[in-house]
Amino acid sequence: NAGVMQNPRHLVRRRGQEARLRCSPMKGHSHVYWYRQLPEEGLKFMVYLQKENIIDESGMPKERFSAEFPKEGPSILRIQQVVRGDSAAYFCASSPRLAGGPQETQYFGPGTRLLVL
């Protein structure tokens, strides 16, 4: 059973360009969570999605950032008009049911390192 897949692993963009980060959850997992890790900081929650639904986007910046998890295909985190401050590692996690209970755990992907020049 393959783990959580993220691609690309590294992404370089110039200021003003768009960044698209993809996350394929583990097989059988329908819950996806996105986190951002700034240099020398812990992970910060961004958004929680189920198939075709955004459940909680309380951690998402109000502008330029969006996320989706279509019925078919990977979850996408999209950053429009990137700025240098967007440079970070973006991690995706998945779970088969809503995480937060003793029986459920989020499984993390390897992350996408975004560098904005």
Partner 1 sequence: AQSVTQPDIHITVSEGASLELRCNYSYGATPYLFWYVQSPGQGLQLLLKYFSGDTLVQGIKGFEAEFKRSQSSFNLRKPSVHWSDAAEYFCAVEPGGSYIPTFGRGTSLIVHP
Nearest to 68 by CA among 2, 5, 17, 23: 23
Q: Which window, 13-21, 68-76, 77-85, 106-114, contacts partner 1 (CB under 8 A)?
A: 106-114
Q: What sign does the CA torsion over 40, 21, 76, 4 have?
A: negative
Work out which of 25, 67, 77, 111 binds partner 1, going by CB under 8 A: 111
Site for partner 1 in 71-90 (CB under 8 A): none
Which of 2-10, 13-21, 63-71, 74-82 is the region at the interface with partner 1 (rule: CB under 8 A)?
Answer: 2-10
Task: Give the Cα separation of 34 and 6 in Å (integer).
Answer: 11
Q: Which residues pair with 32 in a beta bridge?
A: 49, 94
d(CA 86, CA 83): 6
- Counting residues that bind partner 1 (by CB under 8 A) gives 26
Pairing of strands 10-13, 112-116: parallel
27 binds partner 1 (CB under 8 A): no
Among 48, 49, 82, 116, binds partner 1 (CB under 8 A): 48
Q: Under the rule (CB under 8 A), what is the footprint of partner 1? A: 4, 6, 9, 33, 40-45, 48, 56, 59, 91, 98-102, 105-111
